[in-house]
Amino acid sequence: MKSLEARYASRNVVYLLGGADTDQVLHFFDRSCGGMAQGPHRLARGHVYFDYLKGRHSTNFNQRIVEVPGIGHDNLGMFTSECGMAVLFEKKLPAGCPLFR
């Protein structure tokens, strides 16, 4: 199992997170104690998960987060944004796309 996780951590993975994905009222949002322990909203939970993986794999970690400014929980907005298109087509990120490594 450890080798599977290590292989995953070494893969080129980009997590697209909506910079405005902070709504706790949307349907399908886990508001249980366990869910809230992961973070108050999806944006925070994405960062918590990323930091967890990065902490477990301090070497050979090849993943990053790109936040898409102004986008909430919206797949169309995410993938048609300048940031999303740059990630999908492996182009240079526009200056307004926050990148976390």
Say if pTM beats, i.e. exceeds, 0.75. yes
pLDDT average, residue stretch 11-21: 97
pLDDT average, residue stretch 46-54: 97
Domain range holding 33?
Answer: 2-100
pLDDT average, residue stretch 16-37: 91
**The two three-digit tokens of residue 87, written as one number:** 């990630």
Task: Report the alpha-carbon distance of residue 93 to residue 42 in Å, rounded.
Answer: 22
Count of domains forming the chain: 1
pLDDT average, residue stretch 19-28: 88
Amino acid identity of residue 70, one-letter, is G
pLDDT average, residue stretch 66-84: 97
pLDDT of residue 78: 97
pLDDT of residue 85: 98
Name residue, tokens 């349907």: 27
